[in-house]
Structure 1
Amino acid sequence: MARVVRFHQHGGPEVLQIETVDVAPPARGEVQIRVKALGLNRAEALLRRGTYIETATFPSGLGLEAAGIVEAVGADVAGFAPGDAVSIVPPLSMVRWPAYAELATFPAELVVKHPPELDFETAAAVWMQYLTAYGALIDIAGLARGDVVAITAASSSVGLAAIQIANRIGAVPIALTRTSAKQRALRDAGAAHVIASAEEDIRARLEDIAGARGVRVVLDAVGGPAFEPLTAAMSPGGMLIEYGGLSPEPTPFPLFNVLTKSLVLRGYLVHEITRDPARIAKAKAFILDGLSDGTLKPIIARTFRFENIVEAHRFLESNEQFGKIVVTI
């Protein structure tokens, strides 16, 4: 028996319930984890509300990231043993492999022995943010030293991960945030420049910062009207990678900018990386190296107890956080 978080209908944070259920042993090729910490992601709020790319089957579990201790291993699993400290690469389906639980089971290929210097709270904050940012910036866009990259929703965990990755390879990260309230924190987190999108002219500021070379890569989680000024400031042949859609406003297609600059506008899901063995291996190596040498450092906004999961989800949807929200068990 173990406590799990489930919901029986779509809705706000209040639909989340902690229940005690029987937990089956790990099947062939699976590893069961005694969870010590969870990393929260906006995708989980979307699943809970019924607006995610995956459909919940009630009663539904949820959760994409966890860190803890190996409890048991299934048949044909090599390299893991009970007692190992591990963290989890986000699975393709959180309905099939939900992380919000005292005991959670995952495919062995998604289980990682993280650097021993990481505590469980930090380890639970690693994989979604760095895999998402790495996949977009390095794997797809080929971001290189000297490139200028504009990062929207920069105070999110993925935004902060993107800033760190850009700095690690010598690119120039420009952080976009709605107001100037988080400007100092973003600079302290490594942003070379910060633009308050609700207070400043986005295009003018980007052009002033980037100069003649322009912005080669835009990592965007927002969409909406900002597409026009973002693409207007991009360099010829630049790439805008869209991985979110936070804006409630329509997203215009910037036809003139795309045509005149031969821009690439590309949708992106982290699953592109996690379901490809060769690409995930490269991503893991890059991230683990960065964690070990200190160039990649997860920033935790706030930590909640498992019993306060509803409050944690309310904070997740408040947009007040700076970095990752973690829940401990």
Structure 2
Amino acid sequence: MARLVRFHQHGGPEVLRIEDVELPRPGSGEVQIRVKALGLNRAEALLRAGAYIETPTLPSGLGLEAAGIIEAVGEGVKNFAPGDSVSIIPPQSMIRWPAYGELATYPAGLVVKHPSSLDWQTAAAIWMQYLTAYGALIDIARLHAGDVVVITAASSSVGLAAIQIANRVGAIAIAVTRTSAKKQALLDAGAAYVVASAEEDLAARLNEIAGPQGVRVVFDAIGGPIFEPLTAAMSPGGILIEYGGLSREPTPFPLSVVLAKTLTLRGYLVHEITGNTAKLEAAKAFILEGLETGALRPIIDRTFPFEQIVEAHRFLESNEQFGKIVVTV
């Protein structure tokens, strides 16, 4: 038996329950992990609330990121053994491969031996944020030195990962956040500039910062009315990559600006990286090297014990965090 977090109905954080569940041994090509820490993601709150791209059969588990020690390996697994310290590449389905529990089972292809210098909390906070940012900025946008990149929702774990990746390749990172409350923290985290969208004229400020070259890359998690000032500040041939949709307002299509500047507006899911073996290997090499050199370093806001998973989800939905929320098991 192992303690797992499950929900029997959709709703707020209070629907999460810790239950004792009998788990089978890992099957062929699988590994079972004794979980030490979990990284929380907004997708998990959406699944719990019934607003995610997957529709679970209830009761359902959840969770996309974990780190721990391999407990057992299934038939055909050759590169891992019990006792190995590992972390997890987010699976395409957290319903099929849930992370929230004392034990979790995954295909061996989603398991990574992480650098020994990382503690459990940091190891559990790596893959979702850095793979998401890498796929958009490096794989799709080909971000390079001197590029101006705008990063919205900049104080999220993915936003902070994007700032670090931009700095690693020599790009100029402009962090966009709603108010100036987190401005200094974003500057300390590596942003070259910070713009408070609720307090400043966003398009004018971006144009002022970017100058004649304009903004070549926008990495946006919000959508909604912010599309118009973002595209207004973009350079000809620029690309806007949308990976979220946090705004509850309609997202306008800025047709005249898109045509005049020949812009690319691109939807993006991290599954484009995790579901492609060659791209995933390139991303893992980039991220692991960055972790080893210190160019990439997960920023963890708060850590909760497993027994406080409901409180952890409440904090996740408060939008008060700066970086990642982690749960220790």
Q: Which structure 1 residue ranges, 4+ long, deviate > 4 Å from structure 2? A: none
Q: Which runs of 5+ in 2 are unaligned?
A: none
Encode CA deviations 1:244-292: one digit per residue, 9 max, x unaligned.
Answer: 0001111000111100000000000000000000000000000000000
Q: Secondary structure at the match of 2:154?
A: coil
d(CA) in 1 for partners of 2:160 and 2:73?
34
- 1:170 maps to what in 2? 170
Give the distance between the partners of 1:218 and 1:54, measured in 2 at CA. 27
Q: What is aligned with 1:264? A: 264
Shift of the alpha carbon at 1:148?
Answer: 0.3
1:244 corresponds to which residue?
244
> Which residue identity lines up with residue 290 of structure 1 in the other structure?
G
Q: Deviations 1:276-321 (Å, cap 9, x if unpaired)?
A: 0000000000000000000000000100000000000000000000
SS at the partner of 1:326?
strand
1:231 matches 2:231: yes
1:195-243 deviation digits (Å, cap 9, x = unpaired): 0000000000100000000000000000010100000000000000000
Q: Pairwise mapping of residues 93-112 of structure 1 onto structure 2 (< 5 A)?
A: 93-112=93-112
* Counterpart check, 1:31 vs 2:31: yes
CA-CA distance at 1:134 after TM superposition: 0.1
Structure-to-structure mapping, 1:163-242, within 5 angstroms: 163-242=163-242
SS class of match (2:318):
coil
* Alpha-carbon distance, 1:119 to partner: 0.4
Supply the AA of the counterpart residue of 1:153. A
Q: Distance in 2 between matches of 1:212 and 1:75?
A: 59
1:128-174 deviation per Cα after TM superposition (whole angstroms, max 9, x unaligned): 00000000000001001000000000000000000000000000000
Trace 1:83-102 onto structure 2 (pairs within 5 A). Answer: 83-102=83-102
- Residue 76 of structure 2: aligned partner: 76
The separation in 2 between residues aligned to 1:243 and 1:257, in whole angstroms, is 21
Residue matched to 2:285: 285
Q: TM-score, normalised by structure 2?
A: 1.00
Q: TM-score, normalised by structure 1?
A: 1.00
**For the residues of structure 2 that align with 1:158 and 1:215, how far apart are their CA atoms?**
19
- 1:319 alignment counterpart: 319
Taking the aligned partners of 2:308 and 2:84, their CA distance within structure 1 comes to 27
Q: Hey, what does 1:161 align to over in structure 2?
A: 161
Partners in 2 of 1:19 and 1:311 — Cα distance?
Answer: 17
Q: Distance in 2 between matches of 1:78 and 1:240?
A: 41
- Say how many residue pairs are matched: 329
Return the alpha-carbon distance in structure 1 between the equivalents of residues 258 and 32 of structure 2: 48
Whole-angstrom distance in 1 between the partners of 2:270 and 2:58: 25
Distance 1:290 1:87 in 2: 16
Q: Paired residue for 2:274?
A: 274
1:8: Cα distance to partner? 0.4
Aligned equivalent of 1:128:
128
Pair 1:295-2:295 in alignment? yes
1:7 match = 7
Amino acid at match of 1:131: L
Quick one: distance in 2 between partners of 1:172 and 1:52? Answer: 33
Q: Displacement, 1:78?
A: 1.1
Letter of the 1:239 partner, please give it: I
| Structure 2: distance between partners of 1:57 and 1:324 | 28
Percent identity, aligned pairs only? Answer: 77
* Structure 1 unmatched runs, 5+: none
Distance 2:118 2:312 in 1: 22
Paired with 1:256 and 1:12, the residues of 2 have a C-alpha distance of 41
Q: CA deviation at 1:56?
A: 1.1
Q: CA RMSD in A?
A: 0.3
3-state SS of the aligned residue for 2:245?
coil
Q: SS of 2:159's equivalent?
A: helix
Matched AA of 1:123 = A
Distance 2:28 2:168 in 1: 38
Q: Which amino acid aligns with 2:110?
A: L
